[in-house]
Amino acid sequence: MKTLYLQASPEQIADAVIFSGDPGRVKRVCEKLDGVHKISENREFVTFTGTYRGMPVTVTSTGIGAPSAAIALEEMYACGMKVAVRLGTVMGLDGRLGEFIIPRAAMREESTSSTYVRSSYPAAADFDLVSCMNQAVKAEKGFYTNGIVCSMDGYYSQMKSSRLADEMQINVDATVPELKKYNIVGLDMETSLVLTLGALMNIRACSVTYVTVLDGLKDMLQDEARIQGEDQLIRVVLEGLYADWKNHGADSAV
């Protein structure tokens, strides 16, 4: 029986699943896989399964934000997922574009995870999986931090000012200074949900993100620089997953 939104069944899904907000980025991941076949395309969810260096892997899009990411994780978990990795971009708060943020934990300011468990429950990444991703960044000669990130719901009410926010006199510019007081290094909309549900599902989960924009959109990667950065992000996640797969027994199959 297929799941409701991702239209997937257990025999189609690999143990390791990559989640990315952008359906276009999912297709770029697929360019690096062998034997790729489309599982489904429904609403914001586009799902493929293939192999990377012999490792079975599924990749799916989630759209923007925690609510739809939760749907994707729930349905992949129903299909037997054992490893979950968020692959995405992040707003950096420390002034460095082109850096990887592979957080050890996240501040839960999105609302979806609180529908599962009270706010005192931590959003923490799997240590071994984070270590594999760190090593993959080093192999790419990149830079990374394992600092704490924050996930929020309101893009135009908390991250970037808008006409409505201005009309309502919402001080969006106050968000980043407040987070910096807690040594938060990045801001996104999904990581804390992924880490929280990963722990509740008793699977291994982490988030691997690439800084493409700085706080307040004061600077951002554009055009070819962004394309190259996202390609590096994809390579890091695939290599990190491969190392994790080898460490935990390369005997999984779709």
- Three-state DSSP class for residue 62: coil
The domains of the chain, with CATH numbers, are 10-247 (3.40.50.1580)
Partners of 52 in beta bridges = 55
Paired strand residues for 86: 19, 207
Q: In the predicted model, what is the mean pLDDT of residues 134-156?
A: 97
Which pTM does this prediction carry? 0.96
Element (H, E) at 61: strand 55-61
* 84, pLDDT greater than 80: yes
- How many other CB atoms sit within 10 Å of the CB of residue 200? 15
Q: Mean pLDDT throughout 158-184?
A: 95
Contact call for residues 66 and 113 (beta carbons, < 8 A): yes
Quick: pLDDT tens for 117-144: 999 999 999 999 999 999 999 999 999 9
